[in-house]
């Protein structure tokens, strides 16, 4: 279970640990593929759980995230991007760094 914070450093060491998990998942995927073992990474922003109870913004429903995860595993997907936020942030990784971090722009 990754997070959109795998790709954007907005939460200090939590973001760093999620980025490391993303890298580890990619490494495991490569290492296990010759044995026929697939690895699916799940990325999501806020999910409507106790962990995100303090968040006022949009949240995914846990059952929707679980359904997408299982569909992705069944389809041998490398990654599942379970919400619009995750899709937008991942799509922006090739942009200029200031697109992800506007505070760096002049």
Per-residue pLDDT, 80: 97
Integer angstrom CA distances of residue 25 from 12, 31, 32, 64: 20, 10, 10, 22
If one counts the domains in the chain, the total is 1
* Domain assignment of residue 102, yes or no: no
Give percent above pLDDT 90 in the chain.
Answer: 74
> pTM for this one?
0.85
pLDDT tier at 31 (50, 70, 90 boundaries)?
very high
Per-residue pLDDT, 84: 94
10: containing domain: 4-94
* Domain assignment of residue 44, yes or no: yes
* Domain assignment of residue 100, yes or no: no
Per-residue pLDDT, 11: 85
Nearest to 2 by CA among 31, 99, 32, 20: 20
Which of 1-15, 23-37, 42-56 is the most confident on average?
23-37
* Domain assignment of residue 104, yes or no: no
Backbone angles phi, psi at 93, to 5 degrees: -65, -25
pLDDT at 72 over 90: yes
């Amino acid at each position: 279970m990754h997070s959109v914070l795998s790709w954007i450093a907005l939460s200090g060491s939590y973001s760093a640990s999620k980025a490391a998990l993303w890298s580890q998942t990619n490494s495991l995927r490569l290492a296990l593929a010759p044995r026929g073992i697939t690895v699916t990474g799940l990325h999501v922003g806020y999910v409507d759980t106790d962990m995100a109870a303090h968040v006022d913004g949009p949240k995914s429903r846990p059952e929707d995230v679980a359904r997408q995860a299982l569909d992705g595993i069944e389809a041998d997907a490398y990654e599942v991007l379970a919400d619009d936020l995750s899709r937008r942030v991942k799509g922006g990784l090739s942009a200029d760094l200031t697109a992800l971090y506007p505070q760096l722009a002049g």
